[in-house]
């Protein structure tokens, strides 16, 4: 399939077919990625509960890198697809060069943070010396080598935008397989390889990410002729950068606020115990695992919505949104039922002791109720973001991942002082956000009907 065919399929193939073609490889890729994140945590939990708590406390800071990477790559994906749909090839080229330059600047920023800020971040969060020490080591490695996340998301998203989602899956899978193989080797040691503990977990993660960058870059150079000449060239067009940030900023803010939200929630939970923080870390891993199909569908859906919106095919835009909403809501309902039945099994995987198990059973059974409501909000938010309604998307995401969530945890904690009831903050937040999302969708639907 040549370049023209790959771009035109987003306008000509039946919507269910193109949505599956664009999204299924990404779903599988994110599934693999989620698996190695969970496996990574399982191995770290076997070091000690303090090591697992350190990784849980580092997670919000790691997500800042992911927020910037996902947000800007979403922005360049939508902008590049829209310019290609409008046959503005020079603008599409400018988008690629500008994004490459911005990615390099972000890498330098996180190298500086990794060297100077990792220790103070953990000293602020906890006075448990072992947790602070282990966490600083883990976070500094991830920040210093953040180029794997930043360029990986960028190059993989370009493959998806060009209709080669299966190649994006191959790049992501290569990194995941590397991580799965080297996680136990670097953490516990094997033969001449010394046991590195929590540092080994970090090196296995960033090693997989960097491998995925080189694989994705090679695949773009070989199969994505639309970006081949510009991929390794630098440039900066302020107006194009503005377009990228205008589309991607809601994701950056949302995920960035989500990181800060996790940070604040961890501080609330630390008032109860470090074990409660570790349990919340398990829920975050499990939640991300459950959301991987939605993340994959969103990745595949953005270029479809943007391309057809750019060409005026609003009937296809509406159909793609309808299919995505129905499919994701149904899948989350199934996961809700399954996970309500097996919380003990999940906790056993993380080497949970008696205290962690007691807290975790209550936490997981309360939190999984939120999944179907979250699915609808996420699909609607991404659709609005891709179709020039970023302010709606930002409102939904800020409510869901920041304002309401922190307020719910804080209020329930202050009112009940109960470690069991505090977990209701998660489903309460998702239910309220779901209702607000439906209201905004009615306003948004009027725009699409025009």
Count of domains forming the chain = 1
Q: What is the mean pLDDT of residues 411-427?
A: 95
- 341: buried, middle or exposed (CB in 10 Å: 19+, 13-18, 0-12)? exposed
pLDDT of residue 277: 93
SS3 190: strand
The answer to the question of residue 234 being in a domain is yes
For 81-85, 262-266, 288-292, 404-408, which range has the lowest pLDDT when averaged over its residues?
81-85
The answer to the question of residue 415 being in a domain is yes
pLDDT of residue 6: 52
The answer to the question of residue 8 being in a domain is no
Q: Is the dihedral of CA 50, 56, 57, 62 positive or negative?
A: positive
The answer to the question of residue 193 being in a domain is yes
Q: What is the mean pLDDT of residues 408-429?
A: 95
**CA nearest to 47, candidates 163, 202, 164:** 202
Tens of pLDDT, residue by residue over 266-281, are 999 999 999 999 999 9
Tens of pLDDT, residue by residue over 28-58, are 767 776 776 787 888 999 999 999 999 989 9
Instruction: Answer whether 419's CB lies under 8 Å from 272's CB.
Output: yes
Tokens linked to 122? 């953990």
Per the DSSP assignment, residues forming a β-bridge with 193 are 190
The answer to the question of residue 57 being in a domain is yes
pLDDT of residue 2: 47
> How high is the mean pLDDT of the chain?
87
Question: What is the distance between the alpha carbons of residues 246 and 69, in angstroms, rounded to a whole number?
Answer: 15
Tens of pLDDT, residue by residue over 163-191, are 787 888 889 889 988 988 999 999 999 98
SS3 450: coil
**CA nearest to 344, candidates 322, 323, 327, 359:** 359
Range of the domain at 299: 17-449
- Which pLDDT band holds residue 420 (cuts at 50, 70, 90)? very high
The answer to the question of residue 1 being in a domain is no
More confident site: 125 or 311: 125
Phi, psi of 342 (to 5 degrees): -130, 35
Distances (CA, A) of 419 to 345, 407, 424: 21, 16, 10
The answer to the question of residue 424 being in a domain is yes
Q: Is the dihedral of CA 260, 265, 269, 275 positive or negative?
A: negative
Distances (CA, A) of 259 to 18, 56, 113: 33, 11, 16
Percent of the chain exceeding pLDDT 70 equals 94
Phi, psi of 190 (to 5 degrees): -160, 120
Distances (CA, A) of 371 to 234, 277, 291, 412: 41, 21, 8, 20
Is this structure's pTM higher than 0.75?
A: yes
The answer to the question of residue 6 being in a domain is no
Question: What is the distance between the alpha carbons of residues 20 and 28, in angstroms, rounded to a whole number?
Answer: 11
pLDDT at 5 over 70: no
């Amino acid at each position: 399939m040549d370049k023209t065919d790959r771009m035109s399929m987003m306008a000509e193939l039946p919507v269910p077919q193109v949505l599956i073609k664009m999204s299924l490889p990404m779903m599988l890729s994110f599934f693999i990625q989620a698996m190695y994140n969970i496996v990574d945590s399982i191995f770290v939990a076997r070091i000690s509960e303090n090591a697992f708590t350190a990784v849980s406390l580092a997670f919000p800071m790691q997500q800042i890198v992911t927020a910037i990477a996902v947000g800007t790559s979403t922005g360049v994906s939508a902008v590049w697809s829209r310019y290609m749909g409008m046959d503005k090839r020079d603008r599409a080229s400018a988008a690629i060069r500008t994004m490459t330059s911005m990615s390099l600047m972000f890498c330098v920023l996180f190298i500086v943070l990794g060297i100077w800020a990792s220790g103070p971040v953990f000293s602020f969060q906890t006075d448990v010396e072992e947790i602070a020490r282990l966490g600083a080591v883990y976070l500094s490695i991830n920040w210093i080598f953040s180029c794997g996340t930043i360029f990986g998301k960028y190059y993989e998203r370009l493959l998806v935008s060009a209709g080669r989602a299966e190649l994006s899956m191959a790049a992501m899978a290569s990194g995941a397989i590397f991580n799965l193989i080297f996680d136990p080797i670097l953490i516990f040691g094997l033969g001449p390889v010394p046991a590195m503990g929590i540092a080994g977990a970090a090196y296995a993660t960033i090693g997989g990410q960097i491998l995925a960058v080189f694989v994705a870059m090679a695949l773009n150079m070989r199969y994505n002729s639309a970006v081949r000449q510009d991929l390794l060239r630098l440039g900066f067009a302020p107006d194009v950068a503005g377009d990228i940030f205008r589309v991607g900023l809601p994701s950056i803010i949302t995920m960035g606020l989500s990181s800060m939200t996790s940070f604040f929630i961890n501080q609330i939970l630390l008032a109860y115990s470090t074990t409660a923080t570790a349990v919340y870390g398990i829920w975050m891993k499990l939640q991300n695992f459950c959301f991987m199909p939605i993340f994959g569908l969103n990745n595949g859906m953005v270029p479809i919505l943007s391309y057809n919106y750019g060409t005026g095919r609003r009937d296809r835009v509406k159909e793609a949104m309808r299919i995505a909403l129905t499919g994701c809501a149904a899948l989350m309902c199934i996961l809700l039922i399954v996970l309500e039945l097996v919380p003990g099994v999940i906790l056993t995987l993380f080497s949970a002791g008696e205290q962690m198990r007691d807290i975790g059973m209550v936490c997981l059974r309360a939190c999984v109720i939120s999944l179907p409501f979250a699915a609808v909000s996420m699909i609607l938010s991404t659709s609005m973001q891709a179709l020039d309604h970023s302010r709606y998307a930002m409102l939904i995401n800020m409510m869901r991942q920041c304002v309401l969530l922190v307020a719910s945890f804080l209020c329930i904690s202050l009112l009940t002082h109960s470690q069991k009831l505090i977990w209701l903050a998660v489903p309460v937040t998702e239910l309220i956000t779901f209702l607000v999302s439906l209201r905004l969708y009615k306003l948004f639907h009027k725009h699409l009907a025009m």
